[in-house]
Amino acid sequence: MSIRSAECNAARGPTPAAQCSAARYDAVMPIAITRKVSPAITRCELTHLEREPIDVEVAAAQHEEYERALAALGCFVVSLPAEPDLPDSVFVEDTAVVVDEIAVMTRPGAPSRRRETASVAAVLAKYRQVVSIEAPGRLDGGDVLRLGWRVFVGMTGRTSREGIEQLGALLAPHGYAVEGVPVTGCLHLKSAVTQVASDTVLVNPAWVDPGAFSGLARMEIDPGEPFAANALMVGGAVVYPEAFPATAARLDRAGLRVVPVDVSELAKAEGAVTCCSLILAD
C-alpha cells in the first residue's frame, strides 16, 4: 500500500516532498489525490442539510481510513495537508475534472471554495496538462460524471451553463462529448448518480432522470436511503458508505465487490466517497 504526504503552496508550487511523491509513483497504479480534513470543517458550506455538530477528530480518522481503503485497492495516494482556512477543502473532487489527456481546474460555485484549486493544480501539473474554467463560468467537479467518452454535467446551483459550455470546449478536442443534466433536490450530480461498474450506474430517480444515461444499466437505490447513490468505483471494487446497508445489499446481489467505509462525520458537511479524492488512471 502506498500513501505519500505532499505539501503544496499556491504561489511556489509543490515542495520537494510533493515532487518526490509525483516522481516515485508506480505508473501501473491509479493515483488518488486526497487532502486531510480542515480543522475549520465545522464552518463548511451547506445547501441541502441542516447544520449539525461535526467531530473534527472523528472526521479526520474516518478520512484516514478512507485513504487506507484506496491504498489497499491499489491506489498510490498523494495526501495533501489540511488547509486550516478552507473549511471544505477535504472535498478535492470539486477542484478539478481529470481525464486521460488533461486536467481542467474548476471554478467552484461557492466563492469560499475558489482558493482550494491552486494547490491541487500544482500537484496535477506533475501528471497532466492543466487548463482552467474562467470567470464568470462556475463548475464543481462533483457535478461531473465521466462515462467513457460521454461526460455528464449536473445543472445545479454550483455549476452554471457557461461553466458547462467551457468544459465542453476544453474536452471536445480530445473526443469527449459533454451533456448537461437537470438535477433537483441535491447538491451535485454525483449525489444522484455514480458509476459502479463498466456498464452500470447507481441512481436516485427522485433527483435525476435515469433515462439520461441511455446505453447503461441503471440500478436504483433503496428508496429509504435517498443519499445512497454516491459510490466510488476504483480498483475493481466499489468504495461505499456504511450508512446505506439496503442499497449496499443491492450492489452485493449484483456481484459487485463492496468496500464499506464510515464517512458519517464527512456526510454532515454534504460530503461522500467520491468527493474526497481525485482518481487519475495512468
Answer yes or no: 275 catalytic: yes
**Using one digit for the tens of pLDDT, what is the confidence trace for 163-186?**
999 999 999 999 999 999 999 999
The single residue listed with the C-alpha cell 505539501 is: 7
**Using one digit for the tens of pLDDT, what is the confidence trace for 30-86?**
999 999 999 999 998 989 888 999 999 999 999 999 999 999 999 999 999 999 999
For the chain, what is the mean pLDDT?
A: 91
Answer yes or no: 44 catalytic: no
Predicted local distance difference test score (pLDDT) of residue 48: 87
Instruction: Answer whether residue 17 shows pLDDT above 70.
Output: no
CA-based end-to-end distance of the chain: 17
Cα gap 102→124, rounded to integer Å = 9
Instruction: Answer whether residue 111 shows pLDDT above 50.
Output: yes
Instruction: Answer whether residue 12 shows pLDDT above 60.
Output: no
Catalytic residue among 8, 44, 75, 275: 275
Instruction: Answer whether residue 219 shows pLDDT above 90.
Output: yes
The 3-class secondary structure across 42-81, one letter per residue, is HHCCCCCCCCCCCCHHHHHHHHHHHHHHHHHCCCEEEEEC
Instruction: Answer whether residue 120 shows pLDDT above 50.
Output: yes
Can you tell me the mean pLDDT for 91-108?
A: 98
Cα gap 241→174, rounded to integer Å = 34
Can you tell me the mean pLDDT for 257-263?
A: 98
pTM: predicted TM-score of the whole model, two decimal places: 0.90
Predicted local distance difference test score (pLDDT) of residue 7: 41
Predicted local distance difference test score (pLDDT) of residue 11: 32
Predicted local distance difference test score (pLDDT) of residue 204: 98
Determine the topology of domain 2-280 in CATH.
Answer: L-arginine/glycine Amidinotransferase; Chain A (3.75.10)
DSSP 143-171: GEEEETTEEEEEESSSS-HHHHHHHHHHH
| Cα–Cα separations (whole angstroms), residue 196 to 149, 190, 233, 265, 273 | 17, 12, 5, 23, 12
Cα gap 215→273, rounded to integer Å = 25
Cα gap 151→166, rounded to integer Å = 13
